[in-house]
Amino acid sequence: MAIYLIGDVQGCYASLQKLVDKIAFDPVQDQLWFCGDLVARGEDSLSTLRYVSGLGEAAKTVLGNHDLHLLATYYGVSKANKKDKLDNLLHASDCAQLMEWLRQQPLVLALPDGNGFLSHAGLPPNWSSKKALKMSAFVSQRLQSKKPKKWLRAMYGNLPNHWQHCHSDIEKFRFTVNALTRMRFCYQDGGLEFKSKNSPKANTNKHLQPWFEVHQTLDKLQWVFGHWASLEGRVNADNIYALDTGCVWGGRLTALRWDDKQLFQVNSTK
């Protein structure tokens, strides 16, 4: 069995099918693990969700910020953004089933080898993998509760941006969602920053560093993430894998075969 980890699809269904063909994916023997942001901005989020959810045990995904925003829109907590191109999905006859499937997905997944982990945005400073899995379960329990609207409404906002400032369940929920789905840069004291989207080379704020450079114990883990298209897949670490290569922006869609770390890429069909 081969496990292929795939970067942000964002509704680029045609590109996903090209990539699946390129790796000769066999759902009987192989698995596709997605870095989140299955939907939004691309042309066919509906087909993307139908395909991934229809693979059953042959596919796994973590939630990204766009996936969570879709859930918030579906539950009436937020409004649809026209540029996300989600109208077709939100009005589909199977939308309710797809949203229920999406609501069951976690924020962090542990790879079978026991030392590799997957989240959409990364691992916040001062958190261990054990802490990330625990807080992922904390968020999942609330998203899957009978009051998902309460928690989806609570996730919006940038504060608190330090874990040690989180005291209530609402604050812990918001920080966890932000850290695992929105984080790129951090302050040197470990605080999360959410405005900067450029590459580290283009960053002009000397107080900010990529989250994977601020984290103190990351060299003991292997971490896979998406979300940061301007990295173009480049990080200065052998154990960190950035798989968002900007397919929805005309870049490429990337898959990483986990056992031998071989990369496979297809150009965007946009």
Say if residues 62 and 120 touch (Cβ distance below 8 Å).
Answer: yes
The helix (H) or strand (E) run that includes residue 210 is: strand 208-210
Q: What pLDDT shows up at residue 113?
A: 83
Q: Which pLDDT value is given to residue 216?
A: 76
Claim: this prediction has a pTM higher than 0.85: yes
What average pLDDT does this structure show over 125-143?
A: 96
Examine the pLDDT at 270 and tell me if it is beyond 80: no
pLDDT digits (tens, 9 = 90+) for 197-242: 999 999 989 999 999 999 877 888 999 999 999 999 999 889 999 9
* Structural domain of 202: 3-267
pLDDT (tens digit, 9 = 90+) per residue, 157-167?
999 999 999 99
| Number of domain units in the chain | 1
pLDDT at position 130: 95
Q: Are strands 240-242 and 222-225 parallel, antiparallel or unpaired?
A: parallel
CATH value at residue 124: 3.60.21.10
